[in-house]
Structure 1
Amino acid sequence: MDWDNLRFFLELSRAGKLTAAARRLGVDHTTVARRVQALEKLLDRQLFIRTRAGYRLSEAGRELLAQAEAMESAVMSIERASSTADTLSGQVRIGATEGYGTVMLAGQLAALTQRYPHLGVDLLAVPRTVRLARHEADIVITLERPERGPYLITKLTDYVLRLYASERYLASHPPIRSPDDLRGHVFVSYIEDLLYSKELLYLDEIARPRQSALRSTSILAQQAAVAAGAGLAILPAFSACNEPLLQEVLVGQVEFVRTFWMLMPTENKEIARMRVCWDFLRDVAARNQDRLLGRAT
């Protein structure tokens, strides 16, 4: 299969318009259309649905996207081999959700900066969406996949959230044997009108809290409150597993799976320090699958 055709497919999937994809590739828009049509003919599948607003991926296109991105990453890794620790330099700003950025990335990024002593990394670990469109970061890890835009996008990892409470809280409140028992309990949760992603709306799926003892925009603040006995909360397993005062509640009965997406502006993929950070973030997420999926003991 011609890698160039896949490259045109990827650019059109990100831009959503022939003219925008052509501009990034430095070709005429008819070349983009011709290359994509050649790929569709080779695969005997329609990869895009043409609309007045532009091009959006068909089901077959979405299936191909992950494979094409994997090939792109492999090509980038080969190119990255020419960048040595002595020559790689500059600043990279990474935006991430507060929990993932603080609990998982902060320590891992230390290894990256030690490997490349001339590389500087800014980590924005905040309880809100960091926006590429506003140039707030070079690489962003987010809960929601953009539908379109001039971005390189990949699924970074799934992670699980479970229900937790402290031993102190459980000892002083009615027993919890099934989800039905949750109705009379106190919860720690997000401030609903300040939620930055619909992916955080999971509490209503198990129980409408009788009372919220404490609400916070910060998942780490919620975890600290639960550890102190304030109530029950849905927390990421990768974070809660490090808190000895927390116990999982309704083991095997309450679990939510969410996804982290990673994206950066398409033009950044040609910059060596961006490629190195991108591949590093993918590698560490892959190495930490047991913890992210709640399998770590």
Structure 2
Amino acid sequence: MDWNDLRVFLAVARSGTLQTAARQLAVDHTTVSRRIKALEASLGATLFVRAQGGHELTAAGLDLLPRAEAMEKAAHAALQSANRNAAPPERGELAGVVRVGATEGFGAAILAGALARLGQAHPRLTLDLLAVPRALHLSKREADVVISLERPLRGPYVVTKLCDYTLHLYASRRYLAQHGPIATRDDLAGHAYIGYVDDLLYSNELHFLDELYRPESFALRSTSVTAQLQAALAGCGIAILPGFLAREHGELVRILPELANFQRRFWMSMPTENKAVPRVTAVWQYLKREVALRMPEPQAR
């Protein structure tokens, strides 16, 4: 069982509604629903039934509840122990500066809120988030922890897979109303496109459109994925955007959902010596948990 699924289970069991649990966990209600379904699938049992005003535990849910609470208690005890070891004994809290580097869109959409919550829990901890449209280099000590599209292949680093994510073709409802529906790959011809500036790409993982369709020209190109998002929202053209960015904007419509489905991966790295720095390892473990909770599992191609 995934502990992040159990966290969501406990929140729903205690609050009685998906919406309240989502607010408590600082996620959207679709994430809560997805986590519950994943847990039910792994257990082969229904945990909740709809009731007036919310959700009630089934017999299977009632059976799982004490076990989930025991795991929660153990997790809290482990975290408290880690925090005591990571901070001055008289305060029992994290202190100092930790710099996290990440790609621009992922840093803004996923990491900023998570790190803000961690900072609120540890007032003596300063968190620097470098969310930039370029690669950050551990070898230059630009950050204590780096989240990147490409896995570092050499160097004295600790590296782990953080998460997979998907990108899709999107256009605004206004753009599609003006230019007509797109039902097949052939319909992509003649449309306006938004993308990256090829000679300024900082990662080969950002080559997307060539896998599906090579535009004759672009209406707008930018090194910034958030600029591309805003251009798409403004009706400038068709863009390939990460699902974790586009899902927050109801004005955007997925185009060719069965065909345009690009999967990429984020890696998290830090210099090996940072394993001996408690505040850095605490941030590392926290980000693994939070990203696992907030990032939806990519759909298969």
> TM-score higher than 0.5 here?
yes
- Summarize the Cα distance change of 1:175–1:210 in structure 2 as closer, same or farther, 3 Å threshold: farther
What is the distance in 1 between the residues matched to 2:144 and 2:83? 21
Partner of 1:293: 298
Q: Which runs of 4+ in 1 moved over 6 A?
A: 76-79
Partner of 1:106: 112
- State which of 162, 172, 187 in structure 1 corresponds to 2:178: 172
Amino acid at match of 2:162: L
Amino acid at match of 2:235: G
- State which of 91, 97, 111 in structure 1 corresponds to 2:103: 97
> Contact 1:186–1:210 (CA<8 Å) still a contact in 2?
no
- Summarize the Cα distance change of 1:259–1:81 in structure 2 as closer, same or farther, 3 Å threshold: same
Matched, 1:184 2:190: yes
Question: What CA RMSD, in Å, does the superposition of the two structures yield over aligned residues?
Answer: 1.9
What is the distance in 2 between the residues matched to 1:271 and 1:92? 10
Matched, 1:254 2:260: yes
Q: 1:278-289 to 2 correspondence within 5 Å?
A: 278-289=284-295
Question: Any unmatched runs of 5+ in structure 1?
Answer: 1-75
Residue 172 of structure 1: how far off its partner (Å): 1.2
Give the 3-state SS of the residue equivalent to 2:283 in structure 1: helix
Residue 252 of structure 1: how far off its partner (Å): 2.1
Partner of 1:235: 241
Partner of 2:169: 163
Number of aligned residue pairs: give it: 219
- Summarize the Cα distance change of 1:155–1:77 in structure 2 as closer, same or farther, 3 Å threshold: farther
Partner of 1:226: 232
Could you tell which deviates more after superposition, 219-228 or 177-186?
177-186
Give the 3-state SS of the residue equivalent to 1:154 in structure 2: strand
Give the 3-state SS of the residue equivalent to 1:257 in structure 2: strand
Residue 248 of structure 1: how far off its partner (Å): 0.9
Partner of 1:13: none
> Contact 2:195–2:220 (CA<8 Å) still a contact in 1?
yes
Could you tell which deviates more after superposition, 235-244 or 179-188?
179-188
Partner of 2:155: 149
What is the distance in 2 between the residues matched to 1:208 and 1:237? 21
- Summarize the Cα distance change of 1:79–1:148 in structure 2 as closer, same or farther, 3 Å threshold: farther
Question: Any unmatched runs of 5+ in structure 2?
Answer: 1-77
Amino acid at match of 1:288: R
Q: 1:69-80 to 2 correspondence within 5 Å?
A: 80=82
TM-score, structure 1 as length reference: 0.70
Partner of 1:66: none
Residue 191 of structure 1: how far off its partner (Å): 0.2
What is the distance in 2 between the residues matched to 1:288 and 1:245? 22
What is the distance in 2 between the residues matched to 1:124 and 1:81? 24
TM-score, structure 2 as length reference: 0.69
Residue 135 of structure 1: how far off its partner (Å): 1.1
Could you tell which deviates more after superposition, 79-88 or 169-178?
79-88
What is the distance in 1 between the residues matched to 2:118 and 2:96? 13
> Contact 2:188–2:213 (CA<8 Å) still a contact in 1?
yes
Amino acid at match of 2:82: R
CA deviation string 1:2-35 (max 9, x = no partner):
xxxxxxxxxxxxxxxxxxxxxxxxxxxxxxxxxx
Give the 3-state SS of the residue equivalent to 2:127 in structure 1: strand
